[in-house]
Structure 1
């Protein structure tokens, strides 16, 4: 009876999760299959398997729709944005968590409160600010905006990690004559590797998929990120019926994210759970 009861209770939890997983995975599988179909196959057999796995849609997206340039732009924006975020978040988190000064808690509260402010409220001021700095329609300016936008979240996670590091390690290093900068980069940063990886992966996924700020701050097609290029193909598809090319471009966009998350899944879960336990 206990085994039957346990199986029933587990089924109550698992069945909705299985249904939800199928609901999420099916459109992705359908999109991947559509990327290998011709337009005729998509219209005649939209839900079936392709007759042959043809990579022509990927070649068309890569060459005729300049997805190659957009992928390169997204890589630059994502990588540079993630590095800038870490460069600002690591020392700021250390200062807020370890150094006691007047206004310390207030400043930390302001950073965390910024997570609750919708980013849309800053788009218009940022537009004019980037214009004055000659960074409008510039992927490096967009990378700076991305880095600043994710700074509150990064500080929130990293301060939680740094709080779990014993202060005795810093005190011992300080007695040995190590400077605060040496303590930060040689002791605190290596011990916060899990938190840094978690923050970096989450930020990179956010930057790679971001659309609205790129739409506002980028205007030239040669500066388009992948999200904007896919939107352009989507608009063109209404008149050219290049559905296979659109599906192929979507596959190009999501595959790196899936691979990245699959590789670092355990680290991300570990980082989020460890960072939630403070002290």
Structure 2
């Protein structure tokens, strides 16, 4: 009985700070969602109360009048393309480092690990002039490529840890059957990396979706703005037009995809990070 009480007390002591922290984090998000359904009068008169009626007009205003719809599609484009390009680069590189032993393979892997320690801000100015030289500024394709390259070291670090746990006997059997090295990579190794690939893809996609500074530097026209830039522009305009309801609606539109992704793939993300840590 005493042990049960002590365990219950320990669980309570641990859970109370977590519950308080969860409320602190969730309350502003809930307040933002409620504000998206309010008129400006309701926001100023009763900012903490529930909306009198759930009006979707703010979402329509944000989507059309403030070009959130166009920015949403731009963010979706660079996120999907950047994530795909990163996998195209990272999976073969991870396979070469982990399975094809060659001179300086360890040096190459350590170089990628070292690149994770370098702040990305140091590369923004050289990247700007590089894109300017090749006439690739204000280009969503170029921004997607930059996003993919910046996340390659992290992706290789995660994927190599998963790849090291794949039995080499499977690859040897495929080679005996006459399968080429590329066939082994695509048909044997890659399907066994599903958990690692999903983990890397989700982490990279969230990073690309929320990225702001590189988009600010490399994009110049409103038509190419991603959600981060559009929300910043909308925030500045809301100060003079009092379009706070539309601003909250735009923020809700920006955050909903991330919440959906985490809700769907939460188990995969936790499983992937745990397995990657243990295997690494």
Query: Which band: TM-score by shorter chain?
Result: over 0.9
TM-score of the superposed pair, with normalisation by structure 1: 0.99
State the distance in 2 between where 1:16 and 1:23 align: 10
State the distance in 2 between where 1:18 and 1:230 align: 30
State the distance in 2 between where 1:167 and 1:152 align: 24
State the distance in 1 between where 2:172 and 2:61 align: 60
Q: Which residue of 1 aligns with 2:257?
A: 256
Structure 1 residues 34-77: Cα deviation after superposition (integer angstroms, max 9, x where no partner)? 00000000000001100000011000001100111101111110
Q: Which residue of 1 aligns with 2:156?
A: 155
Q: Which residue of 2 aligns with 1:186?
A: 187
Q: Which residue of 1 aligns with 2:111?
A: 110
State the distance in 1 between where 2:11 and 2:65 align: 51
Q: How does 1:213-224 map to 2 (within 5 A)?
A: 213-224=214-225
Q: Which residue of 1 aligns with 2:99?
A: 98
State the distance in 2 between where 1:167 and 1:66 align: 52
- SS of the equivalent of 1:266 reads helix
Q: How does 1:192-271 map to 2 (within 5 A)?
A: 192-271=193-272
Shift of 1:221: 0.1
Q: Which residue of 1 aligns with 2:7?
A: 6
5+ unaligned residues in a row in structure 2: which ranges?
none
User: Which consecutive segments of 4 or more residues in structure 1 shift more than 2 A?
Assistant: none
- Residues matched between the structures, number: 279
State the distance in 1 between where 2:265 and 2:7 align: 32
State the distance in 2 between where 1:278 and 1:179 align: 27
Is residue 2:19 matched to residue 1:18?
yes
Q: Which residue of 1 aligns with 2:71?
A: 70
5+ unaligned residues in a row in structure 1: which ranges?
none
Q: How does 1:121-140 map to 2 (within 5 A)?
A: 121-140=122-141
State the distance in 2 between where 1:18 and 1:42 align: 28
- SS of the equivalent of 2:127 reads helix
- SS of the equivalent of 2:138 reads coil
Shift of 1:140: 0.7
Q: Which residue of 2 aligns with 1:141?
A: 142
State the distance in 2 between where 1:21 and 1:278 align: 30
Shift of 1:241: 1.1
* Alignment root-mean-square deviation, CA: 0.7
Shift of 1:278: 2.2
